[in-house]
A and B are shown apart, each in its own frame.
Chain A
Amino acid sequence: MHEEIIVAGFGGQGVIMAGKLMCIAAMNEGKHVSHIPSYGAEMRGGTANCSVVISDDPIGSPVVPEPTVVIAMNLPSMRKFEPRLKKGGLLLYNSSLIDAKPERDDIEVIAVEATGIAEEVGSTRAANMAAIGRLLAAKPDIASMDSVKEALKIAVSKRNQKFNDINIKVLDKAHSL
């Protein structure tokens, strides 16, 4: 397997952490992984994104110009990264916050009420977990749900470990949609 993933959203939606979580889970399954955040001249309230590569083979460039998967947590991110998707790639978007429809017809599209699911379970801040849960249902090769849940212990900061019950519930709920 070889996936080149961009996770994008507002600063504070946990996109960098979502990328790290997938990396740690896949790493512990013995896969090659890389993670690089965008670190351009970003502004508060602007978009944040990270490039993640997960592969059975050693990774060349950690930067992803043409992703096979885009997770778009808000509209500016979908507008920015939908055009860059590889033909046949997967666009997974947060339909709780994105009213618009994707434009391309040569890609696979999954709408997930990420913020809505997270709010229902207990915290909108776990919207990133809903996106990952849904992605793993569509692309189980990336990492198993068990590996991701285990990886929460490392990827989530100490002071936020107390939210891991919510994180796991959101992961499960989105995964079983």
Chain B
Amino acid sequence: MSDRILMKGNEAVGEAAIIAGCRHYFAYPITPQNEIPAYMAKRLPEVGGTFLQAESELAAINMVFGASAAGARVMTSSSSPGISLKQEGISYIAGAELPCVIVDMMRGGPGLGNIAGSQADYFQATRGGGNGDYRIIVLAPASVQELADITIEAFDLADEYRIPVMILGEGYLGQMSEPFSLPEPSGKTFEKPWALTGAKGRKPNIIASMRLTPENLLEEHNLKLKKTYDKITEKEVRYESYLLDDADYIIVAYGTSARISRSAIIELRKEGIKAGLFRPISLWPYPYKELKKAASHAKKVLTVEMSLGQMVEDVRLAVMDDEKVDFYGRTGGMLPESGEIIRRVRHYGS
């Protein structure tokens, strides 16, 4: 146990990014993720990297665009309203097929909302807050350890598929300290022959997101993106199941909501009520098939979120039985209560 250290989620992201080889980080501060820029400001110069506090979120995401085009492993981070401002850039980066890692430690909304943790930006993250036919990979960790491990993975996925990868946490995950072990570097390397590294001895590379002519060029490009998305959907679905084999009642939750649901399930099992947890880790691609299979034997599927009901739409798409799907959510930065989850599941059986 001696290799375990206590660190805030936000700081763990920073250290894991450095372990993953990230040497460029551009951001604009916002609570509850300010420990990420603070950590990167301190650590990146020590490893020969570049930390830059941009003048705005727009500037930050476009610096990410530029660094990624030049072949760098690059990250930015923000929280809900700041991520809204970054959507234009994210759409451009996705259109230009560039890799980058974006951390969103969600806070209460809409608008400036508040600074407590929230999961109300599921739609924004998984449906694309920017314009156009694009997807980004969205990963939702539920502990500081998983947050660090996923950060390593996110950089590899971004490079492998040339796609932005979003790590979607909430303020609670970023602010919480938990014991964890520093992740190992994956050891994977990626050639980037497309990068803008100077055209000496070769034809210039061109990276663009605008394709005006000929008229079918954009469709061709988007169909090429679609092929990548299909491959990701096939290969990169991630989820965790807990006590699902014999479960009459399935709770579907991610991030901090999943932790609270897990506590509720332990209590329910003590009462002899067969409850289990399905925790999507990849929110895009969503584990539709896996959830459909798990839910096929269940009597009820309760979705728990820190929102008024966003992921529950994906749960409905997976389960395809509206009678079976129930929802419990808290909004505005409030946490779901374990007691309320227990009361609901007890009620299903009565």
A50: nearest chain-B partner, CB-CB:
B177
Q: Contact at B172–A63, with CB atoms within 8 Å?
A: yes
What residues of A have a CB within 8 angstroms of the CB of B1 in the complex?
27-28, 30
Contacts A28-B1, A30-B1, A61-B335 given; indicate if A37 touches B259 (C-beta within 8 A).
Answer: no
Chain B's nearest CB lies how many Å from the CB of A18? 13
Q: Contact at B259–A59, with CB atoms within 8 Å?
A: yes
CB-defined interface of A154-168 with B at 8 Å, one 1/0 digit per residue?
A: 100000000000000
Q: Is A45 an interface residue (CB 8 A)?
A: no
Interface-central residue, B31, B116, B175, B266, by most chain A CB under 10 Å: B175
Q: Which of B2, B4, B116, B338 contacts A61 (CB 8 A)?
A: B338
What residues of B have a CB within 8 angstroms of the CB of A28 in the complex?
1-2
Q: How far is the CA of A58 from the CA of B259 in the complex (A)?
A: 9
What residues of B have a CB within 8 angstroms of the CB of A63 in the complex?
172, 335
What residues of A have a CB within 8 angstroms of the CB of B262 in the complex?
58, 60
A16: nearest chain-B partner, CB-CB:
B177
Q: Contact at A34–B338, with CB atoms within 8 Å?
A: no
What residues of A have a CB within 8 angstroms of the CB of B115 in the complex?
39-41
Please classify the interface of chain B as helix (H, G, I), strand (E, B), loop, or mixed, using the class held by over half of its residues: mixed
Tally of contact residues, A, Cβ under 8 A: 24
CB-defined interface of B114-154 with A at 8 Å, one 1/0 digit per residue?
A: 01100000000000000000000000000000000000000
What residues of B have a CB within 8 angstroms of the CB of A57 in the complex?
266
Q: Is B260 an interface residue (CB 8 A)?
A: yes
Q: Is A24 an interface residue (CB 8 A)?
A: yes
Q: Which of A23, A30, A36, A39 contacts B31 (CB 8 A)?
A: A39
Residues of B246-271 whose CB lies within 8 A of A? 256, 259-264, 266
Q: Is B208 an interface residue (CB 8 A)?
A: no
Contacts A27-B6, A61-B335 given; indicate if A33 touches B179 (C-beta within 8 A).
Answer: yes
Chain A's nearest CB lies how many Å from the CB of B43? 16
Q: Is B329 an interface residue (CB 8 A)?
A: no
Report the number of A-B residue pairs with Cβ-Cβ less than 8 Å. Answer: 61
Tally of contact residues, B, Cβ under 8 A: 25
Q: How far is the CA of A34 from the CA of B256 in the complex (A)?
A: 13
Q: Contact at A60–B338, with CB atoms within 8 Å?
A: yes
Q: Contact at A60–B263, with CB atoms within 8 Å?
A: yes
Q: How far is the CA of A20 from the CA of B172 in the complex (A)?
A: 16
Q: Contact at A34–B176, with CB atoms within 8 Å?
A: yes
Q: Is B164 an interface residue (CB 8 A)?
A: no
A59: nearest chain-B partner, CB-CB:
B259
Q: Which of A27, A36, A58 contacts B175 (CB 8 A)?
A: A36
Q: Which of B4, B32, B172, B337 contacts A62 (CB 8 A)?
A: B172
B267: nearest chain-A partner, CB-CB:
A60
What residues of A have a CB within 8 angstroms of the CB of B177 in the complex?
20, 23, 34-36
Chain B's nearest CB lies how many Å from the CB of A93? 25
Q: Contact at A36–B32, with CB atoms within 8 Å?
A: no
17 contacts between A and B (CB under 8 A): A20-B6, A27-B1, A27-B4, A27-B6, A28-B2, A30-B1, A33-B178, A35-B176, A36-B175, A37-B175, A39-B115, A39-B175, A58-B262, A60-B263, A61-B256, A62-B176, A154-B6
Give me 11 other A-B pairs in contact (C-beta within 8 A), A36-B176, A65-B337 excluded.
A23-B177, A27-B6, A28-B1, A33-B178, A59-B178, A59-B259, A60-B261, A60-B264, A61-B338, A62-B172, A62-B176
Q: Which of B's residues lie within 8 Å of A, judged by CB?
A: 1-2, 4, 6, 31-32, 115-116, 172, 175-179, 256, 259-264, 266, 335, 337-338
Closest 4 CB pairs of A and B: A60-B263, A35-B177, A62-B176, A27-B179
